[in-house]
Structures are given as structure tokens and as C-alpha cells.
């Protein structure tokens, strides 16, 4: 076996010698040998270096502004002789830090697991058979295939190559693709050898076969990846906004704290240490502790829920952007339709044939009159079938058992052509040997055709298949009933009329042509693709996906516009768009050619009304996306090919197809659909909206308790200390870092509120903390809780001979009164946790107990309150005392009226506005 060398070292080794050195052959490795090599060389994966250390992440949670403040406060409390308070403050700080760390860790785990859900595949030749394997299982000596759009899985030596261009920017930074071929040339600089391709680079066009030289960490890419590690997590705009918000609120809280500190010293004449602790209460009451980790966790949970619905997002920020999406530019084939091509007609100048049988099961027939057609009976139909299978890079493996789907290695369009020929009992392998392929000009979505040159009886003949409009433009003759004659204007009209007839029914056509070539000439693509002889059309059906109707209706209800941007023909596109309800039949169809000639102003005007883009090249999507963005839209755009990458990058949400998409498209995208289904985009948008509204819900919930927590300090100050502080600092901490935590988390996991997809998209620059939330938190829920808790405090005092009581001598009355304030706030928060679950809908409609996390949180709150009241140690630390029967009655009477008041308010909000 070989000793370690870099791929470049093999560039000048002749292929035969390389086979020997790597103990492999043109038929590939045996599966046994693969196992041996996997054990020797390991999996073909790149291990990133050290992650950000968990320890650092852990410590970070104890060094935030809030945490430092609490550490210092503990020290001051200690010096002021309040040992219990000091310990309690530190304990709370510790619990909060651990909790935040756990949340961040859970969020990180959630996003990391997504990467494993997207394996990269490679086609290899093993045991003489073409197979699709996980790229991680590729070993040195494997013979593998490279197609345009693939990311190259190993450093490899080219055995054959057709028009191969490789984008090596990941290695060299050079974004202009390099031409590669089997002929060695050293090229300029590193990685420039023409016959070597490198892992981590991508094939921009063409195709090739190569022998893997180095895999995994032995590749050049692996070596570089080892050196450069950037694991910096991306911070989403929402997290940034919250960071900023927390900082601002903290500053405000500290300013108020300083003010209260000064007032306590000079106005109430409190000692300094006591004043500090008092002011600290205000600060703690206002700072939204735990907000950021909770947001991060709920974004990550959103990401996980999206993954379950077949949408993998790469970045937390995509979750928010999805919720803002106003326009989706969508491909047609495979996204809106099933990509289950079945040819059901053949059109030849001499006649029209019906093809029976659905899908990829070879049980149909081509009908010639009343007779099933067998290959070899008729020259023009035979030729069409011959072109169909020879100008074809797809293999279809018959299902092993009845009822199983056939396996397709390649594209559904080409698979349909193979199945068509099988229906006429054409023997593919005999034909491939008899008419071997000499050259190929691969398909690209610009030309919309593919050409191969086959040797037919020793003579080179070009076989071409592709979109009819382009093909007809370069055809000069026609094969009509076995005779070649000039293609007249009348023929053209005749062919186009036939094609339009099918297209108007939503069917897709593919045209076939050929040309006999001069054996001597050295053929270029441009020279071959002209002067063709037109043969005929295959007509295929690609039915809309079943889920599409509901998904489109949902988008329309949610004010999200769908614009179809397809490479298919205008009539087919329009027919499908109308059928699935994307547009009315009044929609304008703009073709790629028209788009190219349109000024920006015209395009803008066109985009303002219903339209469909057909026969466009993927590059043109970029312009459409850019224009829509300049019109203030938030655009999601789908794509699968190499040329879709710029539009995917440009779009606010680039959506790549997981099944049929190229690696290049997946790299450029923000979101990958594992089922290629348009309906999954809509599900992801709904999830995005839900996550955002849940974050607003728990923000509202945590802000609710601010006012009732602050009110006691204000009462204390303005009575110049005559009214003892109704809520102690420790008790404020209990609410903010104890009882509020779990229900808040539960709100982050709330399911979509009914009707969330019946509202227009959120404005792009809308703030998370808006006036509605501030009003509801401070002017409504907060105010009610502040009033109720103050009443509770005075009721206890009043029952104990207020105002005669003396704080020091009252023997537990003060403790009981502050406990009452605390308990009322907690009971108000219980109602608030339930009330915050919906913005408009009735709580009873979504089910009072449907969010178990919230119910669990509420139970926890009550247990914690009971523990504080009844456990002697906690009583001592938290300055609490047990409450009595009447007080409990007051407490228990709080939640229900609060729920009913809110239900009435929501009912009023829901009422139809005329
Ligand atoms: P969409 O962009 O909505 O997914 P599409 O798949 O039809 O639509 P392209 O893949 O760009 O778009 O194909 C454009 C046209 O090229 C097709 O309508 C068809 O006529 C032709 N075509 C597609 N695949 C092949 C192929 N393998 N060989 C030759 N021509 C093809």
C-alpha cells in the first residue's frame, strides 16, 4: 500500500501505475477492501479543532454585569452583618448562572445536532457497480463520480473529465473556476495541477470520474482546517437587540437604584449599608435576568421543531427572518410539483403516441394504434428512444420487491426517459455497447439542453435533447416518417402548436434532435449544436404535490406572496400556477428573454402585479430578488443548481433543496429542505412567527412583575420609612430568579396561536419590545398586581392593629405582611403566565392545560412559595412567615377574576372591526 504523499505528488504518475499503487482498478474497489481501508484510514471527515471551551462558557454566566453586581452586593451585605442575605444572594447568583449555562448548552446541542442530519453523498464505483454512499465512507483508491454542483469529497486524480470547471475558492481564495482535465499541466501556484482535484472545492460545471488519493484529515483541506478554526457562533439580530435592550434596562435600573440610594440616605435617614441593599432591590426588580439565554433557547427549540418539519436552518437568525418573510420566489419542478416525471405522450411529425403506466414502475406500454410498440419497428420512434437513453446520465435500478420505488441515480427527467424506453423493451446495455459515447456537452440551465456524440456504425452522430424553443431555433431539417427534409415555417408552427396544446394542460415537454457529424473534425459545442434534424417530443406529467394547495392558501391568508420562477416553458408554468392557486389566469408571464430586455423601472412595475417568470436562467433570479428587496420586501428564494447560489445568498432566506440540490446551493443557502417541499417553507415561516411571538409573550410575562416589585420601595420612600418596606430584596430575588423562571421557559415553548398565519408579516424593522407589550406589562397586568399586592400588605397589617404596630416588636406581623405581598405577586404571575399564552385567542380554545411546561412551572411556583412560608430555615433567610386562612382565601381568589378580565379583553380584541 502507499506511503503518505500529498495529492499533488501523484499528478505526473501514469494512471496504470496509480491503479497499481492504490491496488484498485477501473471497476473500483471491492466492498471487503473498502472495510479494510476504512479501518486503516478512518472516515472521510474533517475534525474541527478545539471548540470554545465549555469552562469559559460556564464562567461567562458568572461575570455578566448583573452577576458582578450581585457578587458585590453579597459582600456588602456580609459587611453590614447580614450573613443570611449575603449567602442567599450568592446562592441565587449561582443558581441563575448554572441555569443560564444549561440553557445555552441545550441551545448549542440543538443546533449542533442539525449538522448530522445533512450527510453529503458521493457516487462511487465499487464491485463494478455504481453506488451512492455517504461521503464519509469514501476511502483512498475509490473511483468516484463528480457532477456539476458537487462538492468534491477527497483529493483525487482525474480518470476522465468532460468540461470540468472547479471552484477552488475554499482553498485558494480565487473565485474564478479552474478548468481541469485528464491531461497533466502544472498550472500556476499551489493546487493548480490540471489533473488533480481537491476536497472542499466544488465542481462548477461538467462532470468527471476520479480516483481518491487522500481522504479526511489527510486532504489539503483537512490540513488547513486543522490550522484555522473559527467556531465563533453567529449572534442573531434578535439576540443583538436583546443584548442592547438588557444593557439599556440595566443602566436605567442602576440609575434608579442610585437615586433611591441617595433618597434612602438623605430622605429616610437610613444607614449606608441598609440603603445600598434597599437600592439593590430596585435594581434587581428591573433588570430582566435570564432573558438572553431564554431567548437563545427558544430560538434553538424553534430550529429543532423546524427540523422535524423538514426545514433545516443553519443559523438562529434565520428563525426570525422567516417570520418576516413577505415574498417567496419558488422553483417549480420538485418544489411545487412532485418531480415524479412520467412520460404519457410521444409526439412525432408522423403521429402521436399514448404511453401508459404511472411513475417509475415498468408496467406500461407505448401504444402504436391498438398495438403495443416494440423497439425496432419504426425508424423515427426508435431514434427518439435511442436519443432518450443514450443522451442520458441517469441509472434506474428496478425495485427489488413489489411495491417498492425504483432507485434513481440521476435526475427524474432522465429516469422517465429510461423507463419510457424499457416500455418498448429496448435493451439499454446492448445499445450502449453498440453505440458508444465519445463525447458529451453537459446539460446546463442556460442552454437548457444536453448533447452527446455517439459512434453509430463507426460514424459520429450527435444526439441532443432539451427545451423545445432553443432546439427548434438550431434545427434546419426534420425527420418525418423516416425521411429527412427541410424544416419549413409551417412545420415549426405545427410543432409549436402541438407543444402548446400539451403545455396548456400543465405537461412538460422535452425535444429530441440529432446530427450526423464529420468524423475528422475536432468538435466544439457551438459547432455541433447547429443545423440539427428535429425528431420529436416526449411529453411528461409532473403532478403538483398534494400538500401544495393548503400551503399556498396559507401563504395567501398570511399575506405572503408567491412568485414562481422556473426554467420550464411559459404555458406549462402558467397552467401549474393557476392549478395550484398561486396566480389567477390573468397573471402576466415574463420569460427570461423579456426579463433580460426589461429596464429596472419596468421590472418594478411588473413585480407590483401578479406575474410568473418562465424559461429564466437561474442567474436571473438574482435580479428578481434584488429588485424585490429594493421594494422593501423580505424575500425567501429557492434554488438547487450551481447557478442558483448568488440568488440564494442574496435572498433574506435562501432555501436549497436537500434531496435534489447541489452541494453548492446547500452551501449558499440559509435553510435546507430535506423533502424539497414548498409546504415545508410555509411550515418554517409559521414556526418563525411562533418563536418570535413566544419571545414577546415571555418578555411580557417577566416585565409584568416589575411594577409590583418596585411599588413597595416607592411606598417606603414616600412615607419616609414610616411604612416598613412591603417586599424585601430577598423576596424580589425570589420572584425574578425563582418563581418566574419556569413559567417563562414554558411560554417559550408555546405552540402557534390559532390564526398566526392569518396576520400580515411582521414589519422588518419592528421592535421586539413594542408599545403594546410595555402598556400591557406596566399599565395593565403590572398595575393590577401592584394594587392587589399593596392591598394584601395593608390587609395583614390592618388585621394586626395597624397603625399601632411597631415593626421590631410586632413579633412576626411584618414577616407575615411581606410574605403576603410576595404571595400576591406570585399568584398574579400565575394568572399572568396563563394570560400571556395568547394574544387574541381565548385560553379555553387552546386548552387551559395544553402547555404542560407552564402547568409544571405553576406547580413549582406554588411549592416554592409553600417552602418559603413553612420551612424554618427559609423563613429566616427570606424573612417570611406562614399565612392564615383569610389570607389564603384572598390569595386563591386572585387568579380566576384576572383570567376572566383578560378573556373579556381578548374577546373585545377579537371582535370583527367594520
Ligand atoms: P425549475 O427551475 O422550476 O425547477 P426546471 O427544472 O424545468 O424548472 P431547469 O432544470 O433549468 O428548470 O430546466 C429547464 C429546461 O431544460 C427544462 O424545461 C427542460 O426542457 C430542459 N432540461 C431539463 N433537464 C434536462 C436534461 N437532463 N437534459 C436536457 N434538457 C433538460
CA-508 nearest atom, ligand 1: 18
Look-up of cell digits 490540471: 194
* Distance from C-alpha of 752 to C-alpha of 851, rounded to nearest angstrom: 11
231-265, pLDDT tens digit by residue? 455 567 777 788 788 788 888 888 988 998 999 89
Closest C-alpha among 303, 329, 330 to residue 315: 303
Q: Is 736 a catalytic site residue?
A: no
Average model confidence (pLDDT) for the chain? 87
Residue nearest to atom 12 of ligand 1 (CA): 567
Distance 564 CA to ligand 1 centre (A): 15
Q: Is the CB of 10 under 6 A from ligand 1?
A: no
Q: Which atom of ligand 1 is nearest to the CA of 336?
A: 3
Ligand 1 atom closest to Cα of residue 330: 3
| Å from CA of 675 to ligand 1 middle | 20
* Closest atom of ligand 1 to CA, residue 567: 12
Q: State which ligand 1 atom lies nearest to the alpha carbon of 445.
A: 11
Which CATH number fits the domain 704-914, given the four candidates 3.90.1150.10, 1.20.1110.10, 3.50.50.100, 2.130.10.10? 1.20.1110.10
The residue whose CA is least distant from atom 7 of ligand 1 is 568
Quote the CA–CA distance of 623 and 602 in Å, as a whole number.
Answer: 13
The C-alpha cell at 17 is 501505475
Ligand 1 atom at minimum distance from 564 CA: 3
Find out whether the beta carbon of 413 lies less than 6 Å from any atom of ligand 1.
yes
pLDDT of amino acid 295:
82
- Whether 498 lines ligand 1, by a CB cut-off of 6 Å, is no
Query: Which segments of 186-264 are extended strands (E)?
Result: 196-197, 202-214
Q: pLDDT tens digits for 679-690? A: 999 999 999 999
Query: Ligand 1: does its nearest atom lie under 6 Å from the Cβ of 537?
Result: no
Cβ-Cβ contacts under 8 Å for 265 (sequence gap 6 or more)? 272, 275
The answer to whether 327 touches 560, Cβ cutoff 8 Å, is: yes
**Distance between CA atoms of residues 55 and 217, nearest Å:** 27
Instruction: Give the Å distance between the CA of 158 and the centre of ligand 1.
Output: 28
Is residue 396 within 8 Å of residue 406, measured between CB atoms? yes
DSSP state for residue 599 in the 8-state scheme: -
Q: Contacts from 881-884 at CB under 8 Å and sequence distance 24+?
A: 881/812, 881/815, 881/816, 881/819, 882/816, 882/819, 883/816, 883/819, 883/820, 883/823
Distance between Cα 286 and ligand 1 center (Å) = 59
Regarding the beta carbon of 567 and ligand 1, being less than 6 Å apart is answered yes
How much is the pLDDT for 230? 46
For the domain made up of 7-47+122-229, give the CATH fold. Answer: 2.70.150
542 CA → ligand 1 middle, Å: 12
DSSP state of 119: -
Pairing status of strand 327-330 against strand 635-639:
parallel
Of 167, 191, 187, which is closest to residue 177 (Cα–Cα)?
Answer: 167
* SS3 readout for 308-366: HCCEEECCHHHHHHHHHCCEEEECCCCCCECCCCEEEEEEECCEEEEECCCCCCCCCCE
Q: Is it true that the peptide bond before 803 is cis, omega within 30 degrees of 0?
A: yes
The finding on whether 123 has its CB within 6 A of some atom of ligand 1 is no
Question: Does any ligand 1 atom lie closer than 6 A to the CB of residue 331?
Answer: yes
In ligand 1, which atom is closest to the CA atom of 641? 10
- Which cell numbers in the block locate residue 137? 465512507
**How many CB atoms lie under 10 A from the CB of residue 828?**
27
- How far, in Å, from the CA of 188 to the mean position of ligand 1? 36
Residue 644 Cβ contacting ligand 1 at under 6 Å: no
Q: Which of 384, 416, 567 has the most ligand 1 atoms within 8 A of CB, as the residue to mutate?
A: 567
Does ligand 1 come within 6 angstroms of the Cβ of 450?
yes
CB 103 within 8 A of CB 296: yes
Ligand 1 atom with the shortest distance to the CA of 511:
20
Confidence at residue 637, expressed as pLDDT on a 0 to 100 scale? 95
In the reported structure, the alpha carbon of residue 340 is separated from the centroid of ligand 1 by a whole-number distance in angstroms of 14
User: Does the Cβ of 391 fall within 6 Å of ligand 1?
Assistant: no
Of 699, 709, 736, whose CA–CA distance to 839 is shortest? 699
- Which ligand 1 atom lies nearest to the CA of residue 573? 3
- How many angstroms is it from 616 CA to the middle of ligand 1? 10
Give the right CATH number for 342-541 from 3.30.1330.60, 1.10.10.10, 3.40.50.1820, 3.40.1110.10: 3.40.1110.10
Enumerate the β-bridge partners of residue 346: 353, 538
Distance between CA atoms of residues 896 and 914, nearest Å: 32
Q: Is 445 in the pocket of ligand 1 (CB under 6 A)?
A: yes
895 lines ligand 1 (CB under 6 A): no
**643 Cα: distance to centroid of ligand 1 (angstroms):** 13
Q: Which residues of the chain have pLDDT under 70?
A: 1-4, 48-53, 111-119, 225-235, 289-290, 361-362, 402-403, 802-811, 913-914
Output the residue whose Cα is nearest ligand 1's atom 20. 467
Q: For atom 14 of ligand 1, which residue has the closest CA?
A: 567
* CB-ligand 1 contact for 833 (6 Å cutoff): no
Beta bridge partners of 440: 452
Domain map (residue ranges) of the chain? 7-47+122-229, 342-541, 704-914
Grid cell in block for residue 908 = 373585545
- Over residues 521-542, the pLDDT tens digits come to 778 999 999 999 999 999 999 9
Burial label, 448 (beta-carbon count in 10 A; 0-12, 13-18, 19+):
buried
Give the residue whose CA is nearest to atom 5 of ligand 1: 567
Q: Which three cell numbers stand for residue 725?
A: 418596606
Measured from the CB, is residue 423 less than 6 Å from ligand 1? Answer: no
Among protein residues, the one whose CA lies closest to atom 17 of ligand 1:
568
For ligand 1, pick from 205, 503, 545, 568 the residue to mutate: most ligand atoms within 8 Å of CB.
568
Q: Which of 155, 331, 542, 676 is catalytic?
A: 331
pTM over 0.85: no
Q: Which residue owns the Cα nearest ligand 1 atom 13?
A: 567
Amino acid at each position: 500500500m502507499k506511503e503518505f504523499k500529498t495529492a499533488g505528488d501523484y499528478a505526473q504518475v501514469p494512471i496504470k501505475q496509480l491503479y497499481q499503487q492504490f491496488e484498485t482498478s477501473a471497476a473500483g474497489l471491492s466492498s471487503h477492501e473498502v472495510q479494510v481501508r476504512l479501518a486503516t484510514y478512518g472516515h472521510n471527515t474533517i475534525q474541527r479543532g478545539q471548540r470554545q471551551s465549555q469552562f469559559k462558557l460556564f464562567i461567562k454566566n458568572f461575570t455578566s454585569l448583573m452577576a458582578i453586581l450581585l457578587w458585590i452586593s453579597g459582600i456588602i451585605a456580609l459587611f453590614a452583618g447580614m450573613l443570611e442575605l449575603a449567602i442567599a444572594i450568592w446562592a441565587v447568583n449561582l443558581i441563575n448562572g448554572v441555569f443560564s449555562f444549561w440553557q445555552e448548552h441545550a441551545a448549542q446541542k440543538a443546533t449542533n445536532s442539525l449538522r448530522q442530519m445533512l450527510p453529503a453523498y458521493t457516487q462511487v464505483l465499487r464491485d463494478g457497480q455504481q453506488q451512492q454512499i455517504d461521503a464519509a465512507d469514501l476511502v483512498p483508491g475509490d473511483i468516484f463520480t463528480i457532477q456539476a454542483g458537487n462538492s468534491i469529497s477527497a483529493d483525487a486524480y482525474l480518470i476522465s473529465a468532460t468540461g470540468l470547471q472547479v471552484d477552488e475558492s475554499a482553498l485558494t481564495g480565487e473565485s474564478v473556476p479552474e478548468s481541469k482535465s485528464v491531461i497533466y499541466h502544472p498550472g500556476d501556484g499551489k493546487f493548480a495541477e490540471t489533473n488533480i482535484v481537491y476536497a472542499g472545492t466544488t465542481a462548477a460545471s461538467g462532470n468527471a470520474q476520479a480516483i481518491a488519493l487522500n481522504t479526511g484529515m489527510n486532504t489539503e483541506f483537512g490540513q488547513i482546517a486543522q490550522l484555522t478554526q473559527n467556531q465563533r457562533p453567529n449572534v442573531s439580530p434578535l439576540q443583538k437587540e436583546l443584548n442592547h435592550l438588557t444593557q439599556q434596562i440595566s443602566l436605567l435600573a442602576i440609575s434608579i437604584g442610585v437615586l433611591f440610594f441617595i433618597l434612602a440616605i438623605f430622605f429616610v435617614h437610613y444607614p449606608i449599608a441598609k440603603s445600598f441593599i434597599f437600592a439593590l432591590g430596585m435594581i434587581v426588580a428591573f433588570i430582566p435576568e435570564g432573558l438572553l439565554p431564554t431567548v437563545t433557547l427558544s430560538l434553538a427549540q424553534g430550529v429543532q421543531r423546524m427540523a422535524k418539519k423538514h426545514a433545516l436552518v443553519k443559523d438562529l437568525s434565520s428563525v426570525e427572518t422567516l417570520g418576516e418573510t413577505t415574498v417567496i420566489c419558488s422553483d417549480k419542478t420538485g418544489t411545487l410539483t412532485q418531480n415524479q416525471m412520467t412520460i404519457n405522450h410521444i409526439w412525432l411529425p408522423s403521429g402521436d403516441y399514448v404511453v401508459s403506466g404511472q411513475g417509475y414502475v415498468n408496467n406500461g406500454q407505448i401504444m402504436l394504434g391498438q398495438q403495443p410498440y416494440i423497439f425496432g419497428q419504426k425508424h423515427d420512434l426508435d431514434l427518439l428512444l435511442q436519443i432518450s437513453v443514450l443522451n442520458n446520465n441517469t441509472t434506474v435500478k428496478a425495485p427489488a420487491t413489489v411495491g417498492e420505488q425504483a432507485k434513481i441515480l440521476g435526475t427524474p427527467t432522465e429516469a422517465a426517459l429510461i423507463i419510457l424506453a424499457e416500455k418498448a423493451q429496448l435493451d439499454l446495455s446492448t445499445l450502449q455497447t453498440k453505440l458508444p459515447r465519445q463525447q458529451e456537452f453537459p446539460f446546463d440551465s442556460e442552454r437548457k439542453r444536453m448533447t452527446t456524440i455517439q459512434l453509430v456504425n463507426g460514424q459520429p452522430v450527435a444526439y441532443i435533447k432539451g427545451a423545445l424553443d432553443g432546439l427548434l431555433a438550431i434545427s434546419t431539417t426534420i425527420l418525418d416518417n423516416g425521411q429527412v427534409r427541410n424544416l419549413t415555417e409551417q412545420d415549426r408552427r405545427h410543432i409549436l402548436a402541438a407543444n402548446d396544446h400539451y403545455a396548456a394542460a400543465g405537461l412538460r415537454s422535452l425535444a429530441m434532435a440529432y446530427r450526423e457529424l464529420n468524423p475528422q473534425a475536432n468538435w466544439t459545442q457551438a459547432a455541433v449544436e447547429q443545423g440539427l434534424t428535429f425528431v420529436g417530443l416526449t411529453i411528461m406529467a409532473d403532478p403538483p404535490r398534494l400538500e401544495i394547495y393548503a400551503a399556498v392558501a396559507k401563504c395567501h391568508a398570511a399575506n405572503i406572496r408567491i412568485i414562481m420562477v422556473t426554467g420550464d416553458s411559459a404555458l406549462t408554468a402558467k397552467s401549474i400556477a393557476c392549478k395550484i392557486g398561486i396566480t389567477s389566469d390573468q397573471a402576466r408571464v415574463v420569460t427570461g428573454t423579456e426579463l433580460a430586455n426589461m429596464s429596472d423601472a419596468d421590472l418594478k412595475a411588473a413585480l407590483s402585479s401578479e406575474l410568473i417568470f418562465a424559461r429564466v436562467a437561474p442567474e436571473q433570479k438574482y435580479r428578481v430578488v434584488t429588485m424585490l428587496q429594493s421594494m422593501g420586501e423580505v424575500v425567501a428564494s429557492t434554488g438547487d443548481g450551481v447557478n442558483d447560489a448568488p440568488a440564494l445568498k442574496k435572498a433574506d432566506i435562501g432555501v436549497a433543496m436537500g434531496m435534489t440540490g447541489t452541494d453548492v446551493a446547500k452551501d449558499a443557502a440559509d435553510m435546507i429542505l430535506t423533502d424539497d417541499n414548498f409546504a415545508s417553507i410555509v411550515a418554517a415561516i409559521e414556526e418563525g412567527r411562533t418563536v418570535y411571538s413566544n419571545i414577546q409573550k415571555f418578555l411580557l410575562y417577566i416585565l409584568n412583575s416589575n411594577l409590583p416589585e418596585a411599588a413597595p420601595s416607592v411606598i417606603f420612600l414616600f412615607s419616609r420609612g414610616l411604612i416598613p418596606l412591603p417586599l424585601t430584596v430577598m423576596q424580589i430575588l425570589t420572584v425574578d430568579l425563582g418563581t418566574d423562571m419556569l413559567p417563562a421557559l414554558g411560554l417559550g415553548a408555546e405552540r402557534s396561536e390559532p390564526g398566526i398565519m392569518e396576520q400580515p408579516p411582521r414589519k422588518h424593522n419592528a421592535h421586539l419590545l413594542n408599545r403594546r407589550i410595555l402598556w400591557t406589562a406596566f399599565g395593565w397586568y403590572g398595575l393590577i398586581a401592584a394594587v392587589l399586592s399593596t392591598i394584601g400588605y395593608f390587609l395583614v397589617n390592618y388585621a394586626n392593629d395597624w397603625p399601632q404596630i411597631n415593626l421590631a416588636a410586632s413579633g412576626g406581623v411584618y414577616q407575615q405582611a411581606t410574605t403576603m405581598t410576595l404571595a400576591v405577586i406570585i399568584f398574579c404571575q400565575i394568572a399572568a403566565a396563563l394570560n400571556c399564552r395568547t394574544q387574541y385567542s381565548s385560553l379555553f380554545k387552546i386548552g387551559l392545560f395544553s402547555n404542560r411546561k407552564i402547568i409544571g412551572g405553576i406547580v413549582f411556583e406554588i411549592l416554592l412559595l409553600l417552602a418559603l412560608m413553612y420551612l424554618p430555615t427559609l423563613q429566616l433567610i427570606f424573612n417570611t412567615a406562614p399565612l392564615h386562612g383569610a389570607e389564603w382565601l384572598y390569595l386563591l381568589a386572585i387568579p380566576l377574576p384576572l383570567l376572566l378580565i383578560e378573556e373579556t379583553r381578548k374577546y373585545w380584541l377579537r371582535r370583527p372591526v367594520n
